[in-house]
Chain A
């Protein structure tokens, strides 16, 4: 059964409070038992509480699937890019390194790529993905556009991302401010953006300390 077209995934990293509920819930999904596929990162742990929850964005033209030498990654008719098919995945890492959103993981022992498949066992029977069903701040939300518009009237949805000269359209939407009149999110434009909260006024903790650098 396909995931209903009317039901979409919405993600708003600005609302993430880093509570880890999504991570815990993700481990309970039946399609990748016991392993959390959601990636939850601190952007700059020393200077900002900003956290980023990242689920698979289910690209229309999934780079992970295209660079897979073993044809292991399939996109279903309803636009869900599924985790690597186990008989085929040869554990080469191409998908892990090529995904523009940094989503897939590589399980060394199992020689298998694993990634979020939008809880296909749940969404294909009309339920919400585990992460979205527990997110207390609605940083992750699964529902209809009408519901989203009602809940977040000041925001609009965007599902076009730009990485250098490449534009990628995704099934998962990102919420952006209603007044942001951009047609796509230029990801590399943020190369020099500091983490939210990490600006001069709030940087008292770092004053006098060496700037963080690679070590």
Chain B
């Protein structure tokens, strides 16, 4: 067995056991664990194992490992912890709380993701504590019309059963289902009407997660409809159907698109990396001499490429192809091709050579933002 697999399996086993222990502790030795929800619990344990295993394998890939290690290194740098914490909070709010970068891609897309994300977050925040026995409600002995939520065995403030607060809390999954279903419908609309999206989508990667989320939400809503207005008509079938949809979704978590929920926080590490890179010494192109990217990034990439088996090292004067800026790389391919046609030039051009320039950035061919500009020239 490869070392990476052993490591990943060990981490996955450890976290699964940790969740098992938390379930026992949080439900006070299973006293508040609902046996009817045991299938959900085992599906969750499997999901934790699968997600951790894939995550650990993923973290051991050379490019991910570099960002992971460097991300923490740069975050914990002495004297920068304060500003790093500020950056962390800012990024958490803008990237995760409000999905600012997705709104910039497209407004409808931003709305779609917000509905899906917050719907799922709300549903998870309610469901998992209930399933694991970490949350239950107790009627107060002296006031039976009041309920007290008990979290992890600790009592929290009680509220009247017939109150707006109770209505909102007890229907939390209904609200989350509405959010998710709205998001799914908008996402489906895009996938059916947008030819670009339709061309590159895969059923398992893009459609299946939407179908699963819709099935979970709809079947959950129908349970509420059944016991609220239909005197429990078809409840047993609906409960079974809902359980199947939830369990399939949980089992699918480590494999499909929904895994991005766990990968996405990596962009926080990237933010610290970029922050440091922007202020550190730039690399100079070995051909045109212009600054591009940071020396740290270029060196890290040389290491990553070597670890991946690429041999971009050069026995000549450049040393490593990575030290050529992207613009000169584009020019070099054409210059090499032209030299094949007319033979090498009789006049060897001195370095640094002029930096290639966009033929017409005004037509939208130029940089796509400040970062793109920094990648290619100072």
Contacts and interface: CB of A to CB of B under 8 A. Distances in A.
B347 interface: yes
Q: Which one of A12, A44, A213, A214 has the greatest number of beta carbons of chain B within 10 Å?
A: A214
Given A165-B312, A214-B288, A191 B351 contact: yes
B191 interface: no
A185 interface: yes
Given A121-B198, A176-B340, A45 B354 contact: yes
A182 B289 contact: no
B321 A166 contact: yes
A181 B35 CA distance: 75
Interface in A45-83: 45-47, 50-52, 54, 63, 66-71, 82-83
B144 interface: no
Given A163-B321, A191-B317, A106 B369 contact: yes
B372 A106 contact: yes
B354 A97 contact: no
Interface string B306-331: 00101111111110111001111111
Given A35-B368, A40-B360, A30 B274 contact: no
Interface string B104-134: 1100000000000000000000000000000
A158 to B, nearest CB: 8
B58 A71 contact: yes
Q: Which one of B270, B318, B326 has the greatest number of beta carbons of chain A within 10 Å?
A: B326
A166 B312 contact: yes
Contacts of A209: none
B318 A31 contact: no
Contact of A165 (B63, B311, B328, B344): B311
Interface in B338-352: 338-342, 344-352
A199 interface: yes
B110 to A, nearest CB: 11
A93 B375 contact: yes
Contact of A66 (B58, B286, B310, B360): B310
A12 B333 CA distance: 11
Contacts of B317: 191
Contacts of A114: 368
A69 B266 contact: yes
Nearest to A185: B336
B370 interface: yes
Interface in B274-289: 274, 284, 286-289
Nearest to A54: B330
Interface string A6-45: 0000001110001010011011011111111011111111
A25 to B, nearest CB: 10
Contacts of A40: 358-360, 365
B321 to A, nearest CB: 4
A110 interface: yes
B332 A164 contact: no
Contacts of B354: 43-47, 212-213
Given A97-B326, A98-B301, 6 more contacts: A90-B263, A122-B199, A163-B312, A189-B336, A192-B349, A193-B344
19 contacts: A14-B341, A20-B363, A38-B365, A40-B365, A42-B357, A45-B354, A52-B331, A69-B63, A70-B263, A88-B264, A93-B297, A97-B326, A98-B301, A101-B330, A102-B325, A121-B198, A180-B341, A190-B335, A214-B290
Interface of A: 12-14, 18, 20, 23-24, 26-27, 29-36, 38-47, 50-52, 54, 63, 66-71, 82-83, 86-88, 90-94, 96-103, 105-112, 114, 117, 120-122, 124-125, 161, 163-166, 174-177, 180, 182, 185-196, 198-200, 211-214
